[in-house]
Structure 1
Amino acid sequence: MKAAPDHEGEAEIEVDWAKAELVEPSPKKLISLRIDEDIVEFFRSQGKGYQTRMNAVLRAYKDAVEKKG
């Protein structure tokens, strides 16, 4: 009898780690930024890593504007 998987969701996928590349994050620039209190509280309420998520939202906006031309 086969044991049940130890997780729920999609089945595991095969990964060829020989082709994997190490991508190091770019250094961040420390700035002072004024943001509405409700915006900061929204991101903080999402838990640890809120500044990273804020950065991701800003990057998505930047990429969309650049793509639009």
Structure 2
Amino acid sequence: MSDMRSRRPADPRRAAEAAFKAATTRKPEAPPPSKPTTMPGARESVTLRLDSAVLEHFQKDGPGWQDRINEALKALVLRET
């Protein structure tokens, strides 16, 4: 004889709750991408507000003023550590 099992679940409420949970549960989100590691000595572009007197001081010797500001700040940071 053929299998006489019922197509209905044994506990309709539990089956309905499981189906609802499966349909409404979000899959876990992927973790946010990690910040790429930078190479030592790499530079990063930033916007910086400086007093006009400070800017004039570093620009008076012409091109390379941004490098001079970077060197002055780096010397200050190294001196404090």
* Shift of residue 33, structure 1, vs aligned partner: 0.7
Q: TM-score, normalised on structure 1? A: 0.56
Give the TM-score, by structure 2 length: 0.48
CA distance in 2, matches of 1:61, 1:26: 16
Structure 1 unaligned regions, length at least 5: 1-24
Where does 1:43-62 land on structure 2 (aligned, <5 Å)? 43-62=58-77
Q: Give the percent of matched residue pairs that are identical in Structure 1 and Structure 2.
A: 31
Question: What letter matches 1:34 in structure 2?
Answer: R
Aligned CA-pair RMSD: 1.4
Which residue number corresponds to residue 47 of structure 2? 32
Computing the radius of gyration from Cα coordinates, the structure with the larger value is 2
Structure 1 residue runs of 4+, over 6 Å off? none
